[in-house]
Amino acid sequence: MDTATLAAIKPLIEARKSLAGGLLPLLHDIQDALGCVPPEAVPLIAAGLNLSRAEVHGVVSYYHHFRQTPPGRHVLRLCRAEACQALGADGLIAHAQARLGCGWHETTADGAVSLEPVFCLGQCAVGPNLLVDDDELHARVTAAGFDGLLKSLREPA
């Protein structure tokens, strides 16, 4: 682990180590700070919270929310809930995964996009829906619309 990562993690552990049930809040803190919970952090977390490495690793790997590698430059969240399914989400998801060459919780080979499922974005009447980087909602997304969006995400800023 590089010194900058270590320096970022140590105070976060310090802040949570005496909190009962502090593991989940600490994992959120670390992911917020670093974009992921690196496997090298597990021994430090375990020592800081007086847990076994297996316990910490088990929690990190159980919750898909926690990444063990940094996310892509953009995170696409495709809605998998019922209303979007009724409006064609399954076909869009299959198209997206084929275009991206990756599945859920994975990142494209070029590091441009990570793909995550989401269960309802509150826009059920205008599905299928997806969210880009937690703040850009796209409604009635078609395969062609997805391709256009992907192209724009892959273009240099």
- Residues of the shown chain interacting with ligand FES in the complex, contacts defined by CB under 6 A: 79, 81, 83-84, 120-124, 127, 129
Q: How far is the CB of 77 from ligand FES (least distance, A)?
A: 10
**CB nearer ligand FES, residue 9 or residue 79:** 79
Identity of the residue, 108 or 129, whose beta carbon is nearer to ligand FES in the bound complex = 129
Cβ at position 151, least distance to ligand FES in Å: 24
Comparing CA positions, the residue from 93, 14, 6, 65 lying closest to residue 41 is 6
Give whichever of 120 and 132 is closer to ligand FES, judged by the CB atom: 120
The least CB distance from residue 75 to ligand FES, in Å, is: 17
Beta-carbon contacts of 47 under 8 Å, excluding residues fewer than 6 positions away, are none
For residue 16, which of 58, 51, 64 has the smallest C-alpha distance? Answer: 51
Comparing CB distances to ligand FES, the nearer of 37 and 79 is: 79
Closest distance to ligand FES from the beta carbon of 121 (Å): 4
Q: Determine the Cα–Cα distance for residues 66 and 150; give it in Å rounded to an integer.
A: 24
Q: 5 or 123, CB closer to ligand FES?
A: 123
How many angstroms from the chain centroid is the CA of residue 90?
A: 20
Residue 106 region by backbone torsions, left for phi larger than 0, else alpha for psi between -120 and 50, else beta: beta
State how far the Cα of 136 lies from the Cα of 146, in Å rounded to an integer.
13
Q: Nearest 5°: phi and psi at 58? A: -60, -40
Minimum CB separation from ligand FES for residue 76, in Å?
14
